[in-house]
Structures are given as structure tokens and as C-alpha cells.
Amino acid sequence: MALSILLLLLLPLPLLLFLLLPNLFYRLRFRLPPGPTPRPLLGNLNDIKPVRFRCFAEWAQSYGPIISVWFGSTLNVVVSSSELAKEVLKEKDQLLADRHRSRSAARFSKDGQDLIWADYGPHYVKVRKVCTLELFTPKRLEALRPIREDEVTAMVESIYNDSTSPDNKGKSLLVKKYLGAVAFNNITRLAFGKRCLNDEGILDKQGQEFKAITANGLKLGASLSVAEHIPWLRWMCPLDEDAFAKHGARRDRLTREIMEEHTLAREKGGDTKQHFFDALLTLKDKYDLSEDTIIGLLWDMITAGMDTTAISVEWAMAELIKNPRVQQKAQEELDRVIGYERVMTEVDFSNLPYLQCVAKEALRLHPPTPLMLPHRANANVKIGGYDIPKGSNVHVNVWAVARDPQVWKNPDEFRPERFLEDDVDMKGHDFRLLPFGAGRRVCPGAQLGINLVTSMIGHLLHHFYWAPPNGVRPEDIDMGENPGLVTYMRTPLEAVPTPRLPAALYKRVAVDI
């Protein structure tokens, strides 16, 4: 409140009226969804709690499943029910398929030259077609399956070695360390055919550069202040154009370096493995893809796939440790189907229905992007009987949708059996469960993500029994979230793994593909 008063005192009356009129105009002309009363200039920014999806879910309990939230002078509409999610993502999808780009997103994507940040139009349709018809096809995912299974078995070997060493035996391990290695190596191998992190956890030169660029991108994005939502304040908090330019040049330089390596290998006839990067080079002329689009697509895959998989599995393991009944039931299924003489593969999934339900239940309770990325209205549209003016941002609170007590029985309970009783699709066809979104902007790599999450959970459960650290009760595990676009655990999970299988089954057999 003090900041609002200070800003009001600093503004001349004509300018103040000019700044307040748009908000007043919207509220008088349109029948907007209800919501907390916005303050002058700042809107509801002062009232939003750090973990936004929980804050919006609380407001939905007071104002209803569709609410208005003002980020400064920008209207944001948040929906929190499956019926309204269906209206946003299916029935009115084309009118809400544009993308809001912050200043940092605009710089990173070169004004939407990639897939994630592109507005809906010919460019988006073309790039989307490349993803669905060329990159994420069942045939290509199956061809690259050995990479995923190789990295998961490398994770198992690393956990086994660390947990059975004299110094660590019986002690807890930081789970995300091992999950992050799988996610990082998997995405760099799928995208570029490069394993940048070795079995000792040491990055090569390019791997170090990948990590540094990713971390710097997050830092730059987080550096934007409240001025991001108040356009007239941006002159006081200008974007560090030099820092963004250097970041973009560094990212492009690394990508072009790898591009040249692949081009030389292809010219020599020695690289026909058709990872995503090779595929894009082959498809460049067919789809008229610019170099900016190829680079943008590859970095979309890196940023979207590197953290979300590890986050999802960490939450799943936390729930399994808190719920030993579920852990035991999943292990009994694995022992019955896989046994004690071999390791699980993705081919076994069809015979492991309870394991699939465990993965699905973890993604229901802990979707990696709980608010999805905001859609932007490209025309005036009605949702739930309310007006959504052109240019408004629309968020689907998939976290709240998946915990709606009117839809889910005991929604906060981790109970995978619910999906044996009701087979709910989670790839955008059933609007009760939307960890990958739905409609025109559904994640094209949903099946890849599901396969990897299920495989990681299955291997962790088949190879080890998991318990909380000594002195910690299962119910005391911190299940709070860190603020941010993706839901990191507030307190990284620590757990004690105990091997369950013969020692020979913990050895990775390297795969070169």
C-alpha cells in the first residue's frame, strides 16, 4: 500500500488519469470475472503470494472458478475448473492461442521465432507440424529409446555405488542430484547426440557451457522487476540490453558450433543417427526453417525438458516415501512382472498398470508447470459467461483443476488406484488432468516426458527400497513448493536407498546411439 501511495503522490493529475483510464474503461465496458479489488497502478501485484498457483486457488474459493487478477495495468484471467479449462483450451482455443511474451521471453525467442513463445499463426502451425510429424513421432521416440534407458540405468548405477560405499552406507542421498543428471544427459543426447556429463558427474566443455547458459537465462529472466507489469515504469527500470545481447550471442555461438560438427559429420557420411538436431538440418529446406527457428526449437527442448522431468520424479519419490503402502504395492507389481534377474525397459510398461498410475498420480498432484504458460486473447471472447477483452492473458490453474473436490474424491490424497478405477487421459483429451496442457498449444513432447518419468520411477522402485533420512518420519517430509514458473520442492528431497536386486543388475552397459 505504501508503494501505491508514493506512486500516486509522484504523478501529476493528468498523467494519473491517463494511467487509470484503461483499467476503468475495461471495468465499465466489459463484464469481467470477479476477483480481488485492484489497487491504483499496481493492480493486485501487492496481494499475490509468492506461490501463485496456490494463491489463485485460494482466491477461486472466494470468487469462483474464474477470476480477474490485475498485474499492474494488464488483465489476467485465471480459470480453476475442468469445465472452464475445456472452454479455454478447446472450445475457444483459436481465440486464445496467442502467447504473452515478457521482455525477456521476447529477447530469448527473438520475438517468437521458436515454438513456445510464437503467437498462433502460419509460423506456429509450420513449426508445430515439424514437431508432431517429424520430431516426436512414435517411430523416432522408439528409435531413441535406448538413449533414455541407458541414462536411467546410469542413474541406478550411480545411486548404487554411492549408497553402498563405506562412507555413505545407510546415509541419505540428495535425490535431485541423480535425477538432474538423467534429465540433462537425456535431453542433450536426444537433441544433439552428446553425453556431456560423465559417470563421475564431470561436465565436458560443452556441457559446462550448456549449464552456464541455462543458469544465466534463468538469472536474466528473474531480474525483471515490477516494472515488467507497469509499462510506464519501464523507463525507470530499462532492460539490460547488453546482457541479453551477450547471452543470445553466447547461446547461438554454442549451437552453431554443434551445428558445424554435425554438418561435417554428415558430409563425411559418418553421422546418420537422426537426433533432433540432425533431423532439423535435414528438414530445413522442406519446411523453410530459418537458423533462428532451428536454434529456438532446440533451446525450447532443452529448457522445457531439462528440469520438468527431474522435478516430476522428485515429487513422485517424495510421495512414495510418505506413502510406503503405495511404494510396496508398486514394487510387488515390478517383482511379479520383471522379477529379480533382469531390469525393466519401456517395453514392459503395458504390463505395469499400477506403475503407470503412480506416475499419473504424481503428475496430477504436482504438475511441473502448475499455471501453464499464459495464453493471450487475440480477440474479444466470452469464457464462463464473462467478457475476456482482446490482449488479456488467460491462465489455466492445472494444479487447482487436478485437486477440485467436485471432480476428485479425496483430491489431496496420493492414491494411484483412482486411475485403475477411472482411466483418465493426461495428454490433453480429458480436462480433469492437464500436466502437458491441451489444444493447439499442448506440449508436443508429452509422450516422451511420460515415458521418461515412468521409466525413472520404475527403475528407482525396482532397484531400491526408499526410506526417509534417519530420525525423519515420512509424514514430516516438506511438501511445500518454491515460487516460480515450475514447481521445485522447497526442501530438496533426501532419502536412504537400500538395494533390492542382485549386484550384477546395477551395472550400466553403455549405449552409443
* CA angle (454, 459, 463) in 5-degree steps: 155
The alpha-helical segments, DSSP class H, found in 225-380 are: 241-267, 276-283, 291-306, 308-322, 324-337, 353-365
Distances in Å between the Cα of 367 and the Cα atoms of 53, 63, 173, 253 are 11, 24, 24, 33
Q: How far apart are CA 149 and CA 513, in angstroms?
A: 12
CA separation (Å) from 506 to 160, 219, 222, 342, 448? 7, 37, 40, 10, 24
Q: Is 357 annotated as a binding residue?
A: no
Spatial CA neighbour of 188 closest among 207, 163, 215:
207
d(CA 468, CA 249): 45
Q: Which residues contact 371 (CB under 8 A, 6 or more apart)?
A: 52, 53, 56, 78, 395, 396, 397, 398, 399, 485
The C-alpha angle with vertex 59 and arms to 56 and 64, in degrees rounded to 5, equals 110
Q: Reduced to 3 states, what is the DSSP secondary structure of residue 42? A: coil
Helix (H, G, I), strand (E, B) or coil at 232: helix
Beta strands 393-396; 74-79: pairing state: parallel
CA distances from 1 to 8, 36, 38, 69, 94 (A): 11, 15, 11, 17, 38
Which residue carries 492445472 as its cell?
398
Angle between helices 324-337 and 308-322 (to 10 degrees): 110
Intra-chain end-to-end CA distance of the chain, in Å: 58
What secondary structure does DSSP assign to 201-222, as a single string? Answer: S-B-HHHHHHHHHHHHHHHHHH
Binding site, annotated residues:
443
Q: Which residues are annotated as a binding site for heme?
A: 443
